[in-house]
Amino acid sequence: CLSASDLNLALAVVHLLVETVQSTDLDKDVFLPDSAGCLSLSQNLVYNDSIWQPPAQYTFVHKNISNSVAKRLQVRSLIQHVLSPTTDDDLQPYGQEERLTSRLAGLLEVYPEGPSIFKELVQNADDAGASMVHIDLNLVNWGTESILGESMQGWQGPAIYVYNDAVFKEKDFQSLASLANSKKIDELGSTGRFGCGWNSVYHFTDVPSIVSGDFIVFLDPHRVYLPGAACSSRPGLKMKFAGSRLKDQFPQQFEPYCNIFGCDMVNRFEGTIFRFPLRNAELAEKSEIKDGKPYSEQDILMLVTA
């Protein structure tokens, strides 16, 4: 590794390079100081754009090289490195291809909130061949440090959980992703297992998630909460957690799904968990789906007792 004087010189050269060389000429690998003060190829380094320090299994660029400089020198972000697809099956951008918020808002006007939302979810489970359904209200505020990104912090709070003992088939994932392919509201509400009943959950949340089989899915119709590097082409993310290290890399992000209904976010889960984190007052002000409408514990209890 470099001596203190050589390290300072190398850092000075890096910043001079970025200031004087055109961006088009910075598309080749260069040697950069890493966090240990050694020179490493830029393609082998990552810069930390996460809000926490993950397990020491990555080689980070030196702390005196800013994220913006590292990005210009073709260093990949940590989020991009962890979540970029390795195979088509392991991780992939997921969700509807079109912007959904305005159409979902219109759909919620057609299908008002009420106990019928839960009845639809029970019917959905029955259609999947489930023999049991549990609906829980969890009031835990989970940790917000080791998660996918700072913008996901607001969705670590109280949530509605809907569990059934059926497992998603690939056609179910495809059906869920194609909810908005139709052009009309009435068509949007008639897409089989995931029609109006599913879309009605947006009364509660802007970021629903599903754990089933080997996969976890996050949906983000606004395209502002999931990391941009993770879902650049569709408003959602489908990740294979079974047999992966995702839980180790982002433990607090996946903690809300652990130790419930036999799920551990490491092994395949023989069932399905829907998690609908409640939209709080701050998030409601930003929502294009349900503008100004937060949900509290009391609101949910009123729905289920109505």
Mean pLDDT of the chain: 83
CA–CA separation, 214 and 265 (whole Å): 9
**Segment 71-83 mean pLDDT:** 80
* Model confidence pLDDT, tens digit, residues 36-61: 999 999 989 988 877 666 666 788 89
Q: Are strands 76-77 and 46-47 parallel, antiparallel or unpaired?
A: parallel
120-124, 142-146, 275-279: the lowest-pLDDT one:
120-124
Asked if pLDDT for residue 100 goes beyond 80, the answer is no
Taking the C-alpha atoms of residue 151 and residue 168, their distance in angstroms, rounded to an integer, is: 28
Average pLDDT over residues 274-286: 95
Confidence of residue 165 (pLDDT cuts 50, 70, 90): very high
Q: Report phi then psi at 40, rounded to 5.
A: -135, 150
H helix or E strand, kind and range, residue 187: helix 185-188
Exposed/middle/buried for residue 39 (C-beta within 10 Å: 0-12, 13-18, 19+): middle
146: pLDDT strictly greater than 80: yes
Look up the pTM and report it.
0.75
How far is Cα 216 from Cα 220, in angstroms, rounded to an integer?
13
Residue 184 pLDDT more than 60? no
- Cβ count within 10 A of residue 7: 17
Note the pLDDT of residue 253: 96
